[in-house]
Amino acid sequence: MKLLNYTLPTVAENLALDEALLVRADEGGEVLRLWESPAVAVVVGSGGSVAIDVNTVACAADGVPILRRASGGGTVVLGPGCLCFSLVLNYTHAPGLNEIPSSNRYILARVLKALAPVVGAKVEGTSDLAAGGVKFSGNAQQRKRTHFLHHGTLLCGFHLALVSKYLNPPERQPDYRRSRPHAEFVANLPVNVEEAKRLLIAEWQPDGDYDPLPLDTVRDLIAEKYARAEWNGRR
């Protein structure tokens, strides 16, 4: 596994890079990528509804872009203080990775192990991480023939009020949420982004840096999907 601690200038480019690492995995291999959006953006899951999940009026007023990723999962707000981690793994990396539930259990157990020195937490719902029933991480996957992409977020000093400002109550809610509003449901970890990165790297132990970047694939994916209103606003 290689490490890619790298953020591109725009959220669309970063979403495209995550997918490019998966598309090119037969050549580039397994990777742990860490990135933090420099600007606030709303990102909807592949099957999510912009009309239902997003306060589009508030986003338009503040110039906050609304984008769609290629993996499933719920709608999130990204920005400074929200660490994004992406893992591209071969299905042969560990037993059970060919199925989403067991692969979630494997990866999230390792993330919990990494965070154990700073927080006692557990998996809640399908693929959330929470401490005391309060969520600090959401996760989603995209799958190809030989490899899959698992990406998640870790709140580490994020401006939490932005979640309530730009997101409506979600279309689907896990039972443990108990219909709580965003302000009562999400919280930051007691670490900053750089410390969270250090903990994840120590757990996954990548053995070098990922190179070269698949920037040609990034450009193609932006042109095909991430820069297109038909993709971002399709539901």
Domains, the chain, ordered by start: 2-229 (3.30.930.10)
> Stretch 156-176: mean pLDDT, rounded?
95
* Residue reference for tokens 């899951």: 45
What's this model's pTM, rounded to 2 decimal places? 0.96
pLDDT of residue 190: 98
Work out the pLDDT band at 234, boundaries 50, 70, 90: confident
> Stretch 201-216: mean pLDDT, rounded?
97
What is the distance between the alpha carbons of residues 225 and 128, in angstroms, rounded to a whole number? 27
How many CB atoms within 10 Å of residue 61? 9
* Residue reference for tokens 């990135």: 35
Distances (CA, A) of 192 to 41, 62, 81, 154, 200: 20, 26, 7, 10, 13
pLDDT of residue 171: 80
pLDDT of residue 63: 98
pLDDT of residue 11: 97
Most confidently predicted of 134-138, 168-172, 230-234: 134-138
Q: Look at residue 231 and tell me whether its pLDDT is greater than 90.
A: yes
- pLDDT tens for 36-94 read 999 999 999 999 999 999 999 999 999 999 999 999 999 999 999 999 999 999 999 99
In the chain, pLDDT over 90 holds for what percent of residues?
Answer: 97
How many CB atoms within 10 Å of residue 166? 25
What is the distance between the alpha carbons of residues 191 and 169, in angstroms, rounded to a whole number? 27
pLDDT of residue 235: 81
CA-nearest of 44, 133, 148, 131 to 93 is 148
> Stretch 99-106: mean pLDDT, rounded?
97
